[in-house]
Amino acid sequence: MLTILWSILSLTLTTVTGTVIRDFQVGQPPVVPKDAKQCRVEVFQHDFANSFDTGSAITQLNPPTDCGDIGSWAAITLNLTVTSNGTQFDRLGIFTFHNVEIWRTSTFEPTIGDGIIWTYVKDATQYMPLFSEAGLFIFELDNLIETGLDGVYSTVLTATYYESSRTNPAAKKADLIIPISTLSNTTGNDASVPPDFSLNITIPNNTVAIYAELFASGNGLEEDWFFNVPDKFFSDISSNITSAHDGFREVRLLVDGMVAGVAFPYITVFSGGFDPSCWRPIGSYGMADLPTYAVDLTPFLPILTDNSPHNFTLDVVSAEANHSINANWFVSGNLQVILDSSSKPTTGNITVYSVNDFADTSITGSATEFGTFNATVTAKREIHIEADILSGSGHLTHTVWTQDLQFSNVQTYRNNGLFATLQQTSTGKSSSTHNGVPVLSDVFSFPFSTNFDYFDETLTNWTTSIDHSYDRVLLPNPLRIASTINNHQTTNGFFQVGSEKSGNFGNGTNSNTFTYSDVEGNTYTRKINVANTNFNDTIIVFLDEISGSLASTS
Ligand SMILES: *[C@@H]1O[C@H](CO)[C@@H](O)[C@H](O)[C@H]1NC(C)=O
Ligand SMILES: *[C@@H]1O[C@H](CO)[C@@H](O)[C@H](O)[C@H]1NC(C)=O
Ligand SMILES: *[C@@H]1O[C@H](CO)[C@@H](O)[C@H](O)[C@H]1NC(C)=O
Ligand SMILES: *[C@@H]1O[C@H](CO)[C@@H](O)[C@H](O)[C@H]1NC(C)=O
Ligand SMILES: *[C@@H]1O[C@H](CO)[C@@H](O)[C@H](O)[C@H]1NC(C)=O
Ligand SMILES: *[C@@H]1O[C@H](CO)[C@@H](O)[C@H](O)[C@H]1NC(C)=O
Ligand SMILES: *[C@@H]1O[C@H](CO)[C@@H](O)[C@H](O)[C@H]1NC(C)=O
Ligand SMILES: *[C@@H]1O[C@H](CO)[C@@H](O)[C@H](O)[C@H]1NC(C)=O
Ligand SMILES: *[C@@H]1O[C@H](CO)[C@@H](O)[C@H](O)[C@H]1NC(C)=O
Ligand SMILES: *[C@@H]1O[C@H](CO)[C@@H](O)[C@H](O)[C@H]1NC(C)=O
Ligand SMILES: *[C@@H]1O[C@H](CO)[C@@H](O)[C@H](O)[C@H]1NC(C)=O
Ligand SMILES: *[C@@H]1O[C@H](CO)[C@@H](O)[C@H](O)[C@H]1NC(C)=O
């Protein structure tokens, strides 16, 4: 076991050698005050061995009383540190607090011998209303121990609260956070779709603004949803290679059966995805903190503030005529609610509702012989909703919520289906204004292209290359600040399945360029190029440059 690391940080050259592999996903450190008093609380320590369905870490979390007034903190962060050794698949992790999903993550795959360690620090400031009250904190990480799979994930989670002061003001927060979740007290609160997931929710009648955050990720036959082929070409390929129901997915949020907002999801590649050798030690962007999607539900307040339960629905649909997908996607959401100073109910009218039930989609292509075809799926979506909202205190707000999204997924299969290429682009702009002031804005571009080449019908060795980006200018709601992230990652990999998983062989390269900036002037840049040989053997870091105002906190 050999680790060679040439690290350039602030123009200082360092060489580090070690035996435990330190994995990471590139991303900016949370923006936290440098000089504030901190209160650190251990939330749990938990070993995830055979933890499917019943093995969640469940704990009661109380707010600290020695970092200023409860709920007045400048920031809150969560530090998840995990070690593992042995052989194991990547697993999905769901953090739920007060029945609200607050963070979705996934695991790196361990190595035999001294194993791996990683830390991800999550900015949880936006969930301050939840952290201000004692409640049930659940971390679900479904792991399996069986023949050939012995990797246990040993986890430690700490929460850090930053005391506010004149120089470090308390963070802005919602008055209330309401879950769109299964409300389970024994496991993660995400729902599995299809079919759709619906929940009755009653909104306080003096609500004046309401912003949804959506979580969604594909699993099982939907983990590689972008490689699923259109139904009309499914008979042209072996079902061992891929699944049906095309490569387009739209996550929809409906209120009383009306589409309120949608997401064209980003492709999060888990650390066993395509080729595990591509993702050591650098994970695919988003794997440790899956991106979420923002919808302004304020235009629906004229319907929602009547003291009655309303039907909130989450589902995921494809471009097929019947919109079918395979099992399964895990979905949930939360509502950040802002109340009026008056207890009188909010009233108003929806003045524009121009929304189709489904995106406009097309599926084209042609096949020449079994395992040789081209398929193109396109989609576009326009949403336009306006409403006049009159608060109990007499403030009139004109809200305009729009989404304009485009999608294209071009697949080619050759050589009996053994060679595949994919070019996917997902771009768009979501925007909401309240009396002309932008309160939510999401301008994104998620291009993804790959070649995937199996050597032969045994499907036991393959090469792959991936070139993908996450480019997003995001203001999820007015309680947070607008930030710009540009991440570009290219990988190449080779993998050969052995007689047992522990005998697998692989190698790969990963080049990652990441930049973050926000409207408060914080910046962070990292450029890192690595090669990983023999799957569990050697990692070479050719370049690792970190700079920006947040660099010293990482
Ligand atoms: C995260 O927690 C681990 C221990 O659980 C600690 O070793 C590490 O320094 C922490 N990292 C950060 C950035 O706080
Ligand atoms: C790896 O796991 C095995 C089996 O659980 C254990 O015996 C061994 O001590 C572990 N090695 C390290 C370096 O943690
Ligand atoms: C979860 O616990 C809360 C508070 O004790 C309770 O109101 C709720 O009914 C429980 N949910 C389920 C699904 O049991
Ligand atoms: C919502 O409440 C209505 C009655 O108000 C009931 O018929 C319906 O089954 C409930 N739906 C869900 C998803 O709980
Ligand atoms: C508004 O909601 C509050 C709290 O549920 C309730 O007490 C009040 O009666 C409601 N007002 C009206 C006019 O419905
Ligand atoms: C699919 O895999 C199964 C089991 O691995 C094998 O028996 C079958 O021949 C394969 N089918 C095709 C079309 O390759
Ligand atoms: C809630 O809305 C969804 C989507 O329109 C629908 O499938 C479901 O039947 C509705 N549930 C109830 C109880 O009305
Ligand atoms: C909503 O429409 C009704 C009927 O036209 C009108 O009386 C009321 O003033 C409108 N409310 C708002 C907030 O525009
Ligand atoms: C697929 O597209 C390529 C490039 O556009 C073209 O050369 C090829 O003939 C097409 N193949 C089929 C089977 O349609
Ligand atoms: C593919 O993998 C199998 C089993 O690991 C091996 O027997 C075969 O030689 C490999 N083929 C190539 C071309 O490497
Ligand atoms: C993985 O590492 C172990 C020892 O650390 C070694 O015995 C084994 O051969 C390695 N496997 C591969 C495929 O490199
Ligand atoms: C993997 O190793 C083989 C043999 O040394 C080499 O030809 C290939 O370029 C390597 N691939 C990657 C992606 O590192």
What CATH number does the domain containing 168 carry? 2.60.120.230
3-state secondary structure of 229: coil
Q: Tally the residues of the chain.
A: 554
The rounded distance, in Å, linking the Cα atoms of 313 and 199 is: 7
Owning domain of residue 129: 21-172
Instruction: Tell me the pLDDT band of 537, cut-offs 50, 70 and 90.
Output: low
Q: Is 366 in the pocket of ligand 9 (CB under 6 A)?
A: yes
| Strand ranges in 62-152 using DSSP code E only, listed in sequence order | 75-84, 92-97, 100-106, 116-123, 135-141
Instruction: Tell me the pLDDT band of 264, cut-offs 50, 70 and 90.
Output: very high
Share of the chain above pLDDT 70, in %: 95
Residue pLDDT, tens place only, 324-373:
999 999 999 999 999 999 999 999 999 999 999 999 999 999 999 999 99
The residue assigned the tokens 């779709």 is: 193
Residue 15, pLDDT score: 30
Q: Flag whether 98 is in a domain.
A: yes
Q: Flag whether 76 is in a domain.
A: yes
* 270: its two tokens: 């888990």
Pairing state between β 2-9 and 538-547: parallel
| Strand ranges in 23-72 using DSSP code E only, listed in sequence order | 38-48, 57-61
Going by CA atoms, what residue is nearest to atom 13 of ligand 3?
184
Residue 8, pLDDT score: 28
Q: Flag whether 84 is in a domain.
A: yes
Number of domains within the chain: 1
Q: Is 461 in the pocket of ligand 10 (CB under 6 A)?
A: yes
Residue pLDDT, tens place only, 386-403:
999 999 999 999 999 999
Give, for ligand 9, the residue of 412, 415, 421 to mutate: max count of ligand atoms closer than 8 Å to Cβ: 412
Residue 2, pLDDT score: 32
Residue 256 CA, closest ligand 7 atom number: 2
Residue 24, pLDDT score: 97
Q: Flag whether 440 is in a domain.
A: no
Query: What separation in Å is there between the alpha carbon of 4 and the centre of ligand 7?
Result: 56
Please tell me the least confidently modeled range out of 54-63, 157-166, 492-501: 492-501
Record the pTM. 0.94
Q: Flag whether 89 is in a domain.
A: yes
Q: Flag whether 402 is in a domain.
A: no
Q: Flag whether 229 is in a domain.
A: no
> To the nearest whole number, what is the mean pLDDT of the chain?
94
Q: Flag whether 341 is in a domain.
A: no
